[in-house]
Amino acid sequence: MLTANVLEAKNGLSGLLRLLESGQEDCIIIARHNKPVAKLMPFVEKPVSRRIGAASGRSLYVQDWDSDESNAEVAALFGAEL
């Protein structure tokens, strides 16, 4: 873990990013007046989770979710008139 003051990080940001990209450093602490204020880490893309189980391959809503009947039913539940 490398520590860099704000001025060093500002002037050498490209170099710090290169260290992270190459794997030479796992994180870099950026400090102001020798007190840590931020942590610079490589970005790791997380895989998108897939739907599993009983809901796999099913739609999340019914086909007539925006019908006049459905809207009237919801309005009645809330005590409103359409």
For 4-51, write each residue's pLDDT tens digit.
Answer: 999 999 999 999 999 999 999 999 999 999 999 999 999 988 887 776
Asked if residue 38 lies in contact with residue 9, where contact means CB atoms within 8 angstroms, the answer is no
Residue numbers of the domain that contains 13: 2-40
- Residue 27's CB: how many other CB atoms inside 10 A? 11
* pLDDT score of 20: 95
pTM, to two decimals: 0.55
Helix (H) or strand (E) holding 36: strand 35-40
Residue at 64 is within a domain: no
Residue at 51 is within a domain: no
Residue at 35 is within a domain: yes
Residue at 22 is within a domain: yes
Number of domains in the chain: 1
Asked if residue 63 lies in contact with residue 54, where contact means CB atoms within 8 angstroms, the answer is no
Residue at 79 is within a domain: no
Residue at 55 is within a domain: no
Residue at 30 is within a domain: yes
